[in-house]
Structure 1
């Protein structure tokens, strides 16, 4: 994968490589048609026209509920957790060794058409061949469709209605609700036991994280992402996950962000600029992972690293209760066990 951090790309390109994002409001959904629940956890066939108002404020419409769905990999994984399957995906789906990317969740990637695996890659011919009835993706900046290339966007959007859901300018619970709204409109049974159990686990994990933060108020967390030449420190309030953690009481390092307002770029010589007790590291395949940083002496000398208090950060969560509950539990556990080292 090209080093998107050091290439002259748009802010979206930098975000794809591991930046952070901003805060705002979420719009309401709407769906039409009669619905009957099946024992399988997915609703029975819905009749009549379908519509859904997305987070751009645009309403996608169809004569019937879309079946041939193509989605950004993380959104596809969230829909899968609600029992809605897609025909095709785009975005980080496979690692270099062919295994599922972290953003694929429980999705069986062998059963979907992969239209693109890296930033800027989207096979329009394959997309057309799927006879798409709906395109769904995330939105980190207003009206910018995540991993839909600008150069082919107009051609892609002519082929099927589209839905964009905030991955920024929101919080984790709001983002989950919007993905659930979409899944329900597509026929998911959001009152199925699997879903309600996952929601209960999420709420329990949120309470645990709040309690952990309250019991360890002096523990400070740094949100980091690494490339070969630079270390990025993200501002917590500009991303859906860390903003929510902040609302639950977690204390974060506040970097002096660049003009884009999302993160500060540090050279490896200056990686010790901020004191931190826990470091959360971007887990995406576009970022270097901690085991690849052992050759960098300044990294090894950081107090949190020496104390073994480095944990993964799921920078692009899969917005279902099932996938977000473990994220909250992991951070809660880290804070519960953390020693003050800064």
Structure 2
């Protein structure tokens, strides 16, 4: 995630091999070909007539018909898949080193996808051109509309091959990009009245209310959003990140690094040495579940194991880049609500 008012951007952090918003070096490359169908009942046949969609940059993309040759950032493809929209081509974390589906791939069948780039700064333009894309869809983590995982060095060439759509997840609560992807899926022919789709939205709304009640009933429970790397630990601030902003709006009591502590990362997070990992008191620790981050089971640092929340078994996963469908986001709220409801006060 980047910010125009800072010189150290999220892209810059990634490019330098440093933790991204809370992660570390990205997973290895995968390049399987094919296509994947949706889970909510395949999208309706392409509508007749022109297609248009106004994205979060204020740009309106217009095509003669509803696109069927869609290329999307993996997480967006996974979200559209949940609505029954078929995306054949992806870029971004899709497979892990052992060839299995990355957490950001959701329910996509990664063996049936055309992958143009699986790691940061990788995008096969020749393969993309041969694919014949009609539209490219990604998220944006800054207020400039920079397309996530589209390499800056080749962005102009990529833009010449197909128009792009940007969904902003920058400095706005999760509910907003969720609604935008819902609208995008509907424009692409998804059946938004399908039972699975409406049930998922109701589940999200119920989960939001559950989390609100849990936070209100247990305001003393402190939650810390963290991510681990071999040499450092990152504590995320709640501003800028869509998921944390939404959880905070529901009343969750978060550890909040000072603005001065977050300044070096443009306001995203504070970097701590493992010796200082106990700087903040927390009852629950939410840990970045992306493959780019060191997972709790693999942390061997004695200072980590001594943390009260760790000793109490009160560590839960955090989807730092949520798949933007109601089906995937509802469990995130449910898990946090349950953790708050059942947590012991240890911090």
Partner of 1:321: 326
Partner of 1:14: 13
Partner of 1:248: 250
Partner of 1:63: 64
Q: Are the counterparts in 2 of residues 169 and 238 from structure 1 also a CA contact under 8 Å?
A: yes
TM-score if structure 2 supplies the norm length?
0.88
How far did residue 167 of structure 1 move? 1.7
Partner of 2:54: 53
RMSD, aligned α-carbons: 1.6
1:3-59 CA-to-partner distances (Å, cap 9, x unmatched) read xxxxx9842243694317xxxxxxxxxxxxxxxxxx956333311111111001111
Match for 2:234 among 232, 236, 239? 232
Aligned equivalents of 1:284, 1:205: Cα separation in 2: 23
Partner of 2:32: none
Q: Are the counterparts in 2 of residues 12 and 141 from structure 1 also a CA contact under 8 Å?
A: no
1:204-283 aligned within 5 A:
204-256=206-258, 257-259=262-264, 260-283=266-289
Partner of 1:183: 185
Aligned equivalents of 2:123, 2:196: Cα separation in 1: 33
Aligned equivalents of 2:244, 2:67: Cα separation in 1: 33
1:189-208 aligned within 5 A:
189-208=191-210
Equivalent position SS for 2:161 = coil
Equivalent position SS for 1:194 = helix
Aligned equivalents of 2:313, 2:197: Cα separation in 1: 35
Partner of 2:113: 112
Distance 1:238 1:10, change over 3 A: closer
Q: Are the counterparts in 1 of residues 226 and 235 from structure 2 also a CA contact under 8 Å?
A: yes
Partner of 2:44: 43
1:75-86 aligned within 5 A:
75-86=76-87
**Structure 2 stretches of 5 or more lacking a match?**
1-6, 23-39
TM-score if structure 1 supplies the norm length?
0.89
How far did residue 207 of structure 1 move? 1.0
How far did residue 328 of structure 1 move? 0.5
Aligned equivalents of 1:218, 1:44: Cα separation in 2: 51
**Structure 1 stretches of 5 or more lacking a match?**
1-7, 21-38
How far did residue 214 of structure 1 move? 1.1
How far did residue 95 of structure 1 move? 0.6
Equivalent position SS for 1:151 = helix
Aligned equivalents of 2:273, 2:13: Cα separation in 1: 17
Partner of 2:91: 90
Partner of 1:36: none
How far did residue 305 of structure 1 move? 0.6
Aligned equivalents of 2:103, 2:12: Cα separation in 1: 19
Equivalent position SS for 2:263 = coil
Distance 1:221 1:286, change over 3 A: same
Distance 1:66 1:174, change over 3 A: same
Aligned equivalents of 1:206, 1:300: Cα separation in 2: 31
1:206-261 CA-to-partner distances (Å, cap 9, x unmatched) read 11111111111100000101111111101012210011001111000011212411
Distance 1:94 1:13, change over 3 A: farther
Q: Are the counterparts in 2 of residues 41 and 192 from structure 1 also a CA contact under 8 Å?
A: no
